[in-house]
Structure 1
């Protein structure tokens, strides 16, 4: 088939396609198609060919929406990257993705140039092969990577060819690198002479590309909340299956409008663009997240659907009390939703749909409707159409209803593996081709899914296995606690000790300290499960998908542990400055001393990510203040784990939308 916008404009040219929230400007599908055709012609004039890898580092804007469709029209694999990355963070992503070119704007040009054209260029261990994808004839999106990345470029001042060295050895072999600089194209007037402005490019002939279900449409990075981000190649068939299944679960009406307030580099941000085109509905695009502004836009534009993470929804409710009646769907994912938030949604008739998803699943895996969420506390619903979810033990054997194990998924929306990383692909897939999610959970007798924690979050202390989810649930029952993350940190005597990073409630209990947490837990948990280290922060650090950043949590807790040890040695309180700050932000942290007293420490008061990708940890979340946004984490759609559409505890693989 042709690109989806070509089919949509032929069917409903006068239907509304896009509304820019800031200005109110709207585009019909015919308007959008004209912009897409012009943009595609310019990239064709630069020599972009089917199968190329077009990396993007842009904030949410109309031109980004056009670029998403122009890439599909050209048969190009789009590689969205966060516009909040530093050059040091962006460069290895370009290498991992074998980027043919990098698209930027005036606000991302400096980082783009440093990452793509800097010297030396940061290499990657990717070998450039795409798992599960066969060769395709020239002129199709599935053309070989060698053809795609070694193509000759039409000469344009300042635009140099991007070439990738020949790669030898097996897929995923260490040492393979992208050796050449990556040419940079700006959608604005560039300041750097080495950057080509798209308006300066000649018009080329746009090829008549035909897409197959196995052709890679978009390549998304996981949030990397437990390690190095992986690159997930999602095929046209993956995205189509996900969009279809989502429509059956959530419902679609001709006049639907979906508010896009998540960054478009995230699964939960970009998937609504593809879906709206398939459905023939409209997207209302915000440049960044602002709690009150998002609610106002929902009311102003009669928005019917939105993807959020729990922190975003909480702040929207705090800002405006409730949400407008026009909403039919609030897809809530990216992190576990506190029971209190679901109860508030019930009390204020907010149509919340808790969901569990992953980047690897092109968004949702399971989604609960509001009544299901209210009646079955903690569930993320039943699996979507065509998606199978099983619970397996350590040996891979299926477990019966009610028993806890690793959640394993399969279906047409599941990616075939990770780009250029054969080892990660082998680790993630079972012998029968299903995906090990790394999430721990269970299904009840009626088939509803419950996601508890991550497989690699399990703690072994003194030979005893401790479930961090159980400990966290006990601490959350304290009336003075709003949220908590529990992790294991090294302990010389016990191997690991249980530690808790606690977020006090909005009106903090002056008596809530480490000793109070310890006392509260002793009535609810066995002694070996009680946290030996407790620290306090205003917000938990979160990834791009809104999931808790486990490495950052462990780092803060280890520093709190070290402060305790120093206090014991000096027989005095720990110096707050000794704890440092994990990410350079400020906030308040308390580390329990040996005598149960607490010592304050500088910590990140805005540890969640920015809804438009402005990172606290590259999280989806609102800006940390530099653009007036609320500084909260946004959701990759999926899940309990990457792209926003997921509710759960995620780390790699990444839950999204």
Structure 2
């Protein structure tokens, strides 16, 4: 499950998938043993580091993996057995050099396959659709009369979603946007989000997901970096866009209101309350903007032209930070995301061995759809199953959230530790009927054992913890849903996914030893958008993505995270990067030096803490807090500020965050 948000590079995606195809044992062993010199994979990854990320991976790369005739066996993977290559019966012309054979033989097997649920395949097989638009249209036709998304008591059916997305897609096409154009979506969980997301995908454009709580500085960087030419934004946040739009490439602005799709009378009342009573819409001015409903109306009178979209085309730019603190766009192709939907759908079958699948699935969608976890698991996988997503626009309103949950039998609940903890402390939540609850998915941050135990005691349903990143679309590993135990691990690699634990030199370490968690599979991104330098740092030559998380794998194939290689702070499932905080705070005229670290917090997992050396003796913590409020989204703001006369440093003058944590 997505730890938080972590493109296009043609070659790296080849590296992801090529070794996994049924290319023959010799090729597999070569790829495993010496990719840097002897495989196309190495050339591919090298290409990725040299040229700007502007194209996604070829579609056939994923087909190769999916269509492997030996998909169900452990022999189909490059790190698997190489020994058969050197059997005496093998013709000499097909033998590997002894050194390569020995290297390949030393690579670990796939111990996780022995721990797989009964009848779980090792590979996902061929994908039925090559584009997300076609995939979603297929779901809309299959489940036409069923509710797809419900928000504030108003539902839209799958058939209505298809019609609305076609109209909105036609409007976007009428603006003159070319195929591949980036369209930013800056909305919380409201009905307009799935309509706009599906429209962008069907029309052949790329979704740029934007956190609606961004400050102007953060929004400007993302719009400039992505080159977004259009944006769909909820009016509550339009004043943020107003501050920066003139300095971006955005030419088309569509402004939505909370009540747009709630129906005439109800929608008008909701808009009145949001604007006038709760005063949640600051004054804004965006000359030339078009209202969401006006765009829909115009689009209904136009002919929608379904775009020809390849599996390798870019579907989403999911922005994430890094050790540099510079926000980067993880480029996710249509095949990346569809592969992860297929992986999750297969893994979900294990849950039905405990409780039968209900006729109509209801999923709670409290996590934001602009976050990759909810986007893939709720919106896309939910639609594949014909499920109804109950959209929660503001999950921080726990009483309102609980009231909404009480209206529906809830079957699947993706969430994170802080949300589970907050709900457990709500008296009305404890009164709900949990008998329908089939599956609770924990991601975004580590699930605490105490929270997991309390959740199971109350609901009867264990929290199944998983792991992933924006760079992996997002899910890479998950615990077995049929297991009633909380393992404290991130589980097993999903079908078609490999986990390698490696040292700083890129060598696999033995089972039980700590190293960096590296991931390979069809869901792994091609690279970072227009950032070949950053792509080269995280993509190994054999296609493994370096997660930056440290952990170990046990003999059963379960992986446990023990620490983070990066200094990232994880606040309620969102990445906060110390470098970004330090750069912002250092701009304050009263600050001489600053360092940021994460400290434990029972509600958020971690919160940022600043250590500051004053330049101005009169500087106060209140002044820093106010400065951060202007420049940082809420979850990034420091909760603690400590003034010091000096900061610990290395001999060359680098601030030692490690010493501050001790």
Q: TM-score, normalised by structure 2?
A: 0.61
Residue from 212, 216, 230 that aligns with 2:314? 216
Does structure 1 residue 281 correspond to structure 2 residue 387?
yes
Deviation at 1:3, TM superposition (A): 2.3
Structure showing greater relative contact order (alpha-carbon pairs closer than 8 Å, 6 or more residues apart): 2
Where does residue 477 of structure 2 map in the other structure? 366
Residue from 137, 150, 160 that aligns with 1:19? 150
Deviation at 1:388, TM superposition (A): 0.6
State whether residues 402 and 443 of structure 1, in contact with CA within 8 Å, keep that contact through their aligned partners in structure 2. yes
CA 1:232–1:617: 2 relative to 1, 3 Å: same
Where does residue 185 of structure 1 map in the other structure? 254
Instruction: Give, in whole Å, the separation in 1 of the partners of 2:476 and 2:321.
Output: 17
Does structure 1 residue 105 correspond to structure 2 residue 234?
yes
Structure 2 spans left out of the alignment, 5+ residues: 1-128, 261-283, 571-575, 583-593, 640-662
Residue deviations 1:185-218 (CA, integer Å, cap 9, x gap): 2235995333233516565432222332212111
Residue from 120, 128, 140 that aligns with 1:9? 140
Instruction: Give, in whole Å, the separation in 2 of the partners of 1:448 and 1:354.
Output: 12
How many residue pairs get aligned? The number is 447
State whether residues 36 and 67 of structure 1, in contact with CA within 8 Å, keep that contact through their aligned partners in structure 2. yes
Residue from 528, 542, 550 that aligns with 1:418? 528
CA 1:194–1:259: 2 relative to 1, 3 Å: same
State whether residues 381 and 449 of structure 1, in contact with CA within 8 Å, keep that contact through their aligned partners in structure 2. yes
The 10-residue stretch of structure 1 (357-366 or 263-272) with the greater mean CA deviation from structure 2? 263-272
Where does residue 417 of structure 2 map in the other structure? 310
Give the match's secondary structure for 1:423: helix
CA 1:223–1:426: 2 relative to 1, 3 Å: closer
Instruction: Give, in whole Å, the separation in 1 of the partners of 2:343 and 2:180.
Output: 27
Deviation at 1:101, TM superposition (A): 1.2
Deviation at 1:337, TM superposition (A): 1.9
Instruction: Give, in whole Å, the separation in 2 of the partners of 1:373 and 1:436.
Output: 31
Q: CA-atom RMSD, angstroms? A: 3.7
Q: How does 1:35-54 map to 2 (within 5 A)?
A: 35-54=164-183
Structure 1 spans left out of the alignment, 5+ residues: 123-179, 459-467, 470-484, 491-495, 506-538, 541-546, 567-573, 586-602, 625-657
Instruction: Give, in whole Å, the separation in 1 of the partners of 2:192 and 2:486.
Output: 43
Instruction: Give, in whole Å, the separation in 2 of the partners of 1:285 and 1:80.
Output: 17
State whether residues 297 and 303 of structure 1, in contact with CA within 8 Å, keep that contact through their aligned partners in structure 2. no
Q: How does 1:228-239 map to 2 (within 5 A)?
A: 228-239=326-337
The 10-residue stretch of structure 1 (252-261 or 298-307) with the greater mean CA deviation from structure 2? 252-261
State whether residues 44 and 205 of structure 1, in contact with CA within 8 Å, keep that contact through their aligned partners in structure 2. no
Deviation at 1:292, TM superposition (A): 3.4
Deviation at 1:417, TM superposition (A): 0.7
Instruction: Give, in whole Å, the separation in 1 of the partners of 2:623 and 2:439.
Output: 38
The structure in which a higher percent of residues are helix is 2
Where does residue 144 of structure 1 map in the other structure? none
CA 1:36–1:340: 2 relative to 1, 3 Å: same
Residue deviations 1:375-428 (CA, integer Å, cap 9, x gap): 53x211111111111101111111111100000000001101100100010001
Deviation at 1:502, TM superposition (A): 4.8
State whether residues 222 and 359 of structure 1, in contact with CA within 8 Å, keep that contact through their aligned partners in structure 2. yes
Deviation at 1:10, TM superposition (A): 2.4
Residue deviations 1:45-88 (CA, integer Å, cap 9, x gap): 22233211101222221111100111111011011101111222
Where does residue 408 of structure 2 map in the other structure? 301
Does structure 1 residue 255 correspond to structure 2 residue 353?
no
Where does residue 628 of structure 1 map in the other structure? none
Does structure 1 residue 77 correspond to structure 2 residue 206?
yes
Q: How does 1:146-545 map to 2 (within 5 A)?
A: 180=249, 182-187=251-256, 192-198=286-292, 199=294, 201=298, 203-222=301-320, 227-251=325-349, 253=357, 254-271=359-376, 272-289=378-395, 290-320=397-427, 322=430, 324-348=434-458, 349-369=460-480, 372=483, 374=485, 376=487, 378-457=488-567, 501-503=599-601
Give the match's secondary structure for 2:418: helix
Deviation at 1:501, TM superposition (A): 3.2
State whether residues 598 and 606 of structure 2, in contact with CA within 8 Å, keep that contact through their aligned partners in structure 1. no
Does structure 1 residue 56 correspond to structure 2 residue 185?
yes
Deviation at 1:183, TM superposition (A): 3.2
Deviation at 1:580, TM superposition (A): 4.5
State whether residues 145 and 159 of structure 2, in contact with CA within 8 Å, keep that contact through their aligned partners in structure 1. yes
Instruction: Give, in whole Å, the separation in 2 of the partners of 1:337 and 1:382.
Output: 16
State whether residues 330 and 352 of structure 1, in contact with CA within 8 Å, keep that contact through their aligned partners in structure 2. yes
Give the match's secondary structure for 2:192: helix
State whether residues 348 and 481 of structure 2, in contact with CA within 8 Å, keep that contact through their aligned partners in structure 1. no
Deviation at 1:448, TM superposition (A): 0.5
State whether residues 357 and 366 of structure 1, in contact with CA within 8 Å, keep that contact through their aligned partners in structure 2. yes
Instruction: Give, in whole Å, the separation in 1 of the partners of 2:536 and 2:205.
Output: 26
Q: TM-score, normalised by structure 1?
A: 0.62
